[in-house]
Amino acid sequence: MTAPAYQNSPTRGARKWSPEVESGGISQFSPVSGGTAWRGKSSLTSIPKGAGYNRQNMERTLAIIKPDAVERKFAGQIIQRIEEAGFRVAAMRLVTLSKPVAEGFYAVHRERPFFPHLTAFMSSGPAVVMVLETDGAIKKWRDLMGATDPAKAAPGTLRAAFGSGIERNATHGSDAPDTAAFEIGYFFPGVDLV
């Protein structure tokens, strides 16, 4: 695994939190500051300025390894791809969604004809729900996943490699900062994402 540059910093963890550090700290970069999961402070606030870690571009996204991929034992390979691509896994849960929870998560698609089947599929077995963090995480994760339909996804993408149909497409990713904030708060309410 290639660790993000900021994790290699010799100064990581070397300084305690202070108002000076906080003034340039994580509370100013978070795209999820409106989300219920965000508290504005985490261990990242101890990283001083000039440590090679550009907080201004940091972003978080909600990723799911869907029940089809977990059932087919692809979760390990997908997490390895995530780490190799340079994401930091800020939070992770293995959950079997209830039907109402799946319906709430995909509420934006409530009127779509595939909604009942999609939410039945998403609640059919365990899924791995993660918060991924890196520069431009939302787009970077969607690029790594590939197109919604695995048959149309570019070679080398996760959906091309692990998806088996337009519904059973292995992974989910937030599509914008506001949906990322909603989705992270949906699965990690009140959690400090260190």
> Which active-site residues does the annotation give?
172
140 binds ligand ATP (CB under 6 A): no
In the sheet where 88-95 sits, what is the strand order?
Answer: 88-95, 127-135, 58-65, 171-173
CB of 21 to ligand ATP, least distance (A): 35
Binding segment for ligand ATP among 13-21, 22-30, 35-43, 168-176 (CB under 6 A)? 168-176
Tell me how far apart the alpha carbons of residues 98 and 91 are, in angstroms, rounded to a whole number: 20
- Out of 21, 79, 101, 118, which residue is the one contacting ligand ATP (CB under 6 A)? 118
Binding segment for ligand ATP among 26-34, 54-62, 123-131, 170-178 (CB under 6 A)? 170-178
Using the minimum distance from each CB to ligand ATP, give the nearer residue, 17 or 114.
114
Tell me how far apart the alpha carbons of residues 10 and 12 are, in angstroms, rounded to a whole number: 6
Tell me how far apart the alpha carbons of residues 121 and 117 are, in angstroms, rounded to a whole number: 6
Which CA distances in Å does 118 have to 36, 168, 178?
26, 9, 22
| Chain residues that interact with ligand ATP, rule: CB under 6 A | 109, 114, 118, 148, 166-167, 169, 172-173, 175
